[in-house]
Chain A
């Protein structure tokens, strides 16, 4: 019965979301107070129905209702409870319903926190969100219904993909979706702004906290995904330039550009049309990326089951959402740009350069991701563009971008002088150069051009961010006042510095090696000794595994026992690697068990990853910066 209730609730949500969209727009167009007042209750009703639908699906999973096809395909009796819940978004149908749930949650939040905005403006925002959710629910019901029944129902399910049976994957997609879908709010604000009679910079102030919130979730979501890939896929890398990763990185880059251009628009009233375009683009790229992968147009290790019917629906939806917005932009944007002057050396200039470089980075990734498809479409052969291309291509915009970070942070609005800026930045740069050369050469015993550039720039960013953070505190007769916007900005940049430092060190000094081990063998990797003590069978709730016991010595001192596993999940029969990692603040020792080489000999992958934790720590600090910036008092007036 619960699947039917869920199904019915979803149909009701579809109808209500259509009303939500039409009533808001019609009310705004006719300036009809009664209709405008109706938009919020409609939005809440829609969210409630979506919540009911989602809860019913969760219940079907938790109660092992294998008469639901989606549950039968993605769950199993022996699956631990946590994974029964996370299996809800383990495949296409359920993750789409999660997407819908998140969009309606954002809608509810917008309804609650937009009461101080002009009625017509907020009504259109809620209307756009209603139309978007209408599209997604329609897609869910007609091409990807998670409530479909199967008869006769199997006694047990087909199990969740073992790759997804992991805490990292249980929380990574929801966070990522919160980020993606959050850009829908920025999109809705931009559409509403473009439809307004009179558009001014107030819109930038209203949309800023929403954009930053979406960005911070996307940041955490991507970092979690990277962390998961690092320990679960057993390859030890943290970023693979897979189309799905690129699909999340592109909206992140544009979202970052948007945050910066919003700062300029809010403060100075310039770049309005550019900021609008970025608002539309951030959500467009979220959609494009996610759904291109869904439709099976781009092939990826992440790809869900593909279906041409879904692809067609997606493309039509994309054309209406993105095409419509861009058309509106083309018609309206030219009236918006005001001439406001600023000097060649000013914060405006640095933020403009930041935007240009971030957009270049996005376009490079878009080209790299789409090039194989384009070549195939024109019958020019199959190629694959992989990590090496992206890694080199990214240096082009990223190095100048990172150099500009400190200058942007410390320059003044409107007009600054180069000399003034130089005075402020020279001592941090001096210290950074010294430390940036000493750390790699003394602690790791090697240097190189890219390595020194990376380490000097990252330390320069860290020092400048700390200085900027200090300037956000103002002591006034014993009473401290913190400018949270400045503090948040400084902390986010501090996170960036930490991230770049981690990337630089781990890519220069990381060691990866595959060795054949027999029991009793001892091998030295990057100064640590690894000894294989035993190999045993162990049993988990829904898998059996072979577990190695490896002692790790630093010199003669035993520092850890690592127990990597190779699991075989009983239902899907697929082998999975569970790496064992000794994680310290300044290095990871990573051991993964490979295949049996026969004669009691095993292939074992050992990796030494210095500073790898700084990569994810940096991302978390960035997100924390975003959180602090949102809490600034001026957004609550």
Chain B
């Protein structure tokens, strides 16, 4: 009689493991870069190819580092938000144009607007590898000492900004 309860007991015993396993939120991948200095780079500017952007010039200011490309649908999705953010002058946005076609990228900025203070052009994708980029869009929050304090995978929007970024920025200032 009792033995027929064994399957349900076994099942109930393993379910909690799944619930705990579920709690490990994998959308916030703990980047080993958080708390570290930004990886150094020197890349041409997308808008003005004669100009070289050096990572050391970015310091002394809290900024948002946003990885984007024209082939990325998620980037288009977050573009409106980035435009709004840039108009609010809340924080400078540094763009990394990742493995993209130069002319497509310029056309994109012309068509949809340019929210970025400066944009570095990473044609080979080397710099993105240093930053541990999985896929576009990805955004990093960097404080005035050049330390990465937050990383977000996927498109940004108002809710995410309010929830994950604003408090950290206020702390950082």
Contact = CB atoms under 8 A, between A and B. Distances in A.
A115 interface: no
A322 B71 contact: no
Interface string B1-18: 100110110011011011
Chain B, interface SS category: helix
A103 to B, nearest CB: 22
Interface in B68-88: 71-73, 76-77
Contacts, number: 71
B26 interface: yes
A214 B115 CA distance: 55
Contact of A377 (B4, B11, B17): B17
Tell me the interface secondary structure of chain A in the complex: helix
Interface centre among A158, A311, A318, A323 (most CB of B within 10 A): A311
A307 B27 contact: yes
A330 B5 contact: yes
Interface in B52-99: 71-73, 76-77, 99
A374 B15 CA distance: 11
A69 B18 CA distance: 30
Contact of B27 (A297, A308, A327): A308
B8 A377 contact: no
B14 A158 contact: no
Given A308-B22, A315-B15, A370-B14, A73 B8 contact: no
B4 A333 contact: yes
Contact of B71 (A69, A329, A370, A571): A571
Interface string A219-244: 00000000000000000000000000
Contact of A323 (B1, B5, B12, B23): B12
Given A329-B7, A374-B17, A306 B27 contact: yes
Contacts of A573: 99
Interface in A304-357: 306-308, 311-312, 315, 318-319, 322-323, 326-327, 329-330, 333-334
Contacts of B15: 315, 318-319, 323
Interface residues on A, range: 35 or more
B21 interface: yes
A41 interface: no
A522 B108 CA distance: 50
Given A315-B19, A323-B8, A377-B17, A308 B25 contact: yes
A446 to B, nearest CB: 43
26 contacts: A69-B73, A73-B73, A150-B77, A273-B4, A277-B7, A280-B7, A281-B7, A297-B18, A297-B21, A297-B22, A299-B26, A308-B25, A311-B22, A315-B15, A322-B11, A323-B11, A323-B15, A329-B4, A330-B5, A330-B7, A333-B4, A334-B1, A334-B4, A377-B17, A377-B20, A573-B99
Interface of B: 1, 4-5, 7-8, 11-12, 14-15, 17-27, 71-73, 76-77, 99
